[in-house]
Every structure is written in C-alpha cells, then in structure tokens.
Amino acid sequence: MKVSERAFEKLEILADAAKYDVSCASSGSKRQNKDKGLGNASNGICHAYTEDGRCVSLLKILLTNHCIFDCAYCVSRKSNDIKRAAFTVEEVVDLTISFYRRNYIEGLFLSSGIFDSADVTMERLVRIAKKLRLEENFNGYIHLKAIPGASDDLMKEAGLYADRLSVNVEMPTEKGLKLLAPDKNHKDVIKPMQYLKKAIAGHKEEKKIIKSTPAFAPAGQSTQMVIGATGESDMEILGMANYFYKKMNLRRVYYSGYVPISMDNRLPAIGTPVPMIRENRLYQADWLVRFYGFNVNELVGFDLPHLDLEIDPKLAWALRNLHAFPVDINIADLELIKRIPGIGVLSAQKIVKARKFKNLQPEDLQKMGVAYNRAKYFLAVSSPFAMHKDYTPMQIRQQILTLQNSKYVNNFSPQMALF
C-alpha cells in the first residue's frame, strides 16, 4: 500500500471514530501569536459544515482507536470487530500544522482509545501538544481529552499546553454507566474534573499576582452526555449539567443524541432514530439556565421530568406561568423581557436600548427581529383594534403551533418512537 494510501485510511478510521465526541468549540481562549510564530486562538470560526449540519472547526481525531475497555455504547470498544489504526506523534503534528496553514481548521481536538494504560495514553497526547507549542511555535487552538486515571503531573502538563481539557461523563446516570461499562463509574470522571477545577482556579489567582504565570487551560473544561441510550429523564440530565456548571465551573456541557452503532440488546437497536428533537430541547434548556437567568427547577422537576418536545422550554414555562404576563416592554426589567417567548437575549437588549428614545410599538418590535406572532400573546403593547381576549394556555399553544412552520413538522407522526 502506497504511503499516502495508508495515511488516507488511517485518517478516515480515526476521524470517523472521533466524530461522536461533539464538542466543536474553538473560542474561549485568548491565545495570541508569539514571536512571529504560527497562529492564534481567540476566534470561534467554523471553517466547514458537515452534511448533518454540524460545524467543523477543529481537526478532531483519535490518536488511536485501540482500546483496552469494552464500553457498550462506544464504536471503538474492545470487542467490536473493526479496523484499528494509530497515528505517530509526528504524523499528528504534521497534519495539524499543514491543515492550519491552509486555513482549514482553528486547531486540534485530540482524543484516544486507552492503550496500555491511562498514563501511557495521556503522556502521548501531552507530548503532541508540547511539540506543537514548543517546537513548532503553534498558537492555534488545542483541545485535549483528560484521560480518567492519568496522574496529576500529566494533567498539569496538559493544562500548560492545551486551551481546553475535557473528560466525558457519557452516561448521565450511574446506573446506566454500570450497565454499559461495568469497569467504569462516575467517580473516575469527577476526580480529574476536580483536579482541573482547582488547577485552573489556582493559576488564575497566581496570574493576578505574577503576570508572567503561563496560561492554564484558558478555555476551561467541558464534558458530554449521551442522550437516549439508557432511559434517563431530562430532569436527571439537566440536574447533572447544573451540577457541572455550578460546582465544577465547567464552561460547556454537550448533549449528544445516541446514534445506534451496535447490536447489543442493552442499547436501542440499529435503525432507532437519533433523538434530535429531544437533544435540541435540552440545548434550549441549557441556554435558558446559562443566559436567561432561569433556574433548572423552573424547567423540569419531579412532577415534570421531561421537557415538552412540541414546544420549546421557554414557551412551555410561559404557558405554565401566565400570571407573570402581559409584560410592558417599555417599562419592564431586562430580566423579565428575556422571559417573553419570541424575544431572545439580543432583542431584549435592543429593546432596553431603543426604548430610551421613544415608546416602542409593535412595528418597532417586528423590525428588530422579535418573533412577534409568538410574543404578542405575552405583551402589554396597546393596539387600537386588538381585542384583549383571555386565552387559556392550551389555546395559545394551539394557535402558536398552527401558525409556525416547524422544522420538525415531519417528525410528529404516530410512527415515531422516542425513548
């Protein structure tokens, strides 16, 4: 086999295996170019998009898909009969630099199956990051996986060279994890997260006193949860995400709809549709908590363990809390305006800016990009010919659903079996 053919094959195998780790962020760091070297890492730029609509901003590969573990949900599990491959350190560095110079990518996302041991694997990943930074003077974005079980020293070194470090919790419940990966438990994942949380905070404090302190994982930590593989509720998922954001200072939690890849009867069968709507609602709920000032228990709870699939979580909340409306956007607080369905963070900020100059009318709102057809049920904007009817939550819901051109309209057929 020609040298290039072998290289193509390796890349196909190892990129294919890495694609289920959905983290794609390339922003969050403020890394600048140094000494007329190569690159910087302060933009989130999506250089390409796959046919499934997701962004490609990094070279996302596994160092190798050989693995000593046998987690049922993973395509690279030991017992799976697939082609295995491995990159050398030089190959990864060469490929990263060459792609970067051509403006194909913002940087590297490097994960790996565990070969030999956690320490051996982690050492290899760190070596690649170190070579890129020190030998190639590469200042682009580097995202490394933190391998659970690796030593603190290796984690510390990783933080010095990478912009982001992440370790995936994968299964949202301990029960689910035990069922599918008996060798693993959540503790394995929390331990490196704790260490990194302390190290990141420690470096930030030190930098305030000693300016020359090197950056340590400036883009913070993230993690991923697989949705729809083990029958967990949205409440459990969002509860766990909330814990990560508030107690572990994670920057992002990703929700990845389970793509059936095995015949194992512990998991949804091949052919089961990917729960994309549920994934979308979870991201919407995640945004509400992070940017709209919502508390998790306003969106889900023991009496409401799952998010509504037909309508988004903000509208669902509004319909459960009609007593908070109508809102007069010309006098209300920014925080309350953000809660109006159809008005996003940016539109809310625009409203607050613009109302200083004149009392805003419906035409003004429509011009600013507010989803007026939806927001009108919740606004106290006077309109000469509007009859102020008192609609029930059900009526409002029905009216909004009939009017909107949902991108999911094809999915709501009786045959759809969602987890």
Q: Which residues bind another protein (CB under 8 A)?
A: 4, 7-8, 11-12, 15-16, 18-20, 32-33, 36-40, 43, 45-56, 59-60, 95, 98-99, 101-104, 137, 257, 259-260, 273-274, 276, 350, 353-354, 356-358, 360, 364, 367-368, 407
Residue 179 token pair: 């069922």
Question: Using N-to-C axis directions, what is the helix angle for 152-161 and 186-209, rounded to 10°?
Answer: 50
> Can you say whether residue 340 is alpha, beta or left, with left for phi > 0 and alpha for psi between -120 and 50 degrees?
beta
Q: Among positive and negative, which fits the CA dihedral 307, 311, 312, 314?
A: negative
CB of 123 to another protein, least distance (A): 26
As beta bridge partners, residue 58 has 107
Q: Answer yes or no: are the C-beta atoms of 87 and 63 closer than 8 Å.
A: yes
Alpha helical stretches, state H, 88-151? 89-101, 118-130
- Pick between residue 149 and residue 362 the one whose CB is nearest to another protein: 362
Lookup result for tokens 């110079």: 101
Strands 48-49 and 55-56 turn out to be antiparallel
- Pick between residue 357 and residue 385 the one whose CB is nearest to another protein: 357
Amino acid residing at 371: A
Q: How far apart are CA 309 and CA 315, in angstroms?
A: 11
CB of 17 to another protein, least distance (A): 9
Q: How far apart are CA 123 and CA 110, in angstroms?
A: 13
Residue 39 token pair: 């690159």
CB of 43 to another protein, least distance (A): 7
CB of 174 to another protein, least distance (A): 27
CB of 98 to another protein, least distance (A): 5
- Pick between residue 20 and residue 317 the one whose CB is nearest to another protein: 20
- Pick between residue 64 and residue 221 the one whose CB is nearest to another protein: 64
Cα 51 → chain centroid: 19
CB of 60 to another protein, least distance (A): 7
- Pick between residue 4 and residue 415 the one whose CB is nearest to another protein: 4
3-state secondary structure 352-412: HHHCCCCCCCHHHHHHCCCCHHHHHHHECCCCCCCCCCCCCHHHHHHHHHHHCCCCCHHHC
- Pick between residue 215 and residue 300 the one whose CB is nearest to another protein: 215
Q: How far apart are CA 16 and CA 312, in angstroms?
A: 32
CB of 46 to another protein, least distance (A): 6
Q: Answer yes or no: are the C-beta atoms of 77 and 69 closer than 8 Å.
A: yes
- Pick between residue 361 and residue 392 the one whose CB is nearest to another protein: 361
Closest CA to 108 of 158, 67, 162, 160: 162
Q: How far apart are CA 414 and CA 164, in angstroms?
A: 43
CB of 66 to another protein, least distance (A): 18
- Pick between residue 28 and residue 257 the one whose CB is nearest to another protein: 257
CB of 120 to another protein, least distance (A): 26
- Pick between residue 106 and residue 232 the one whose CB is nearest to another protein: 106
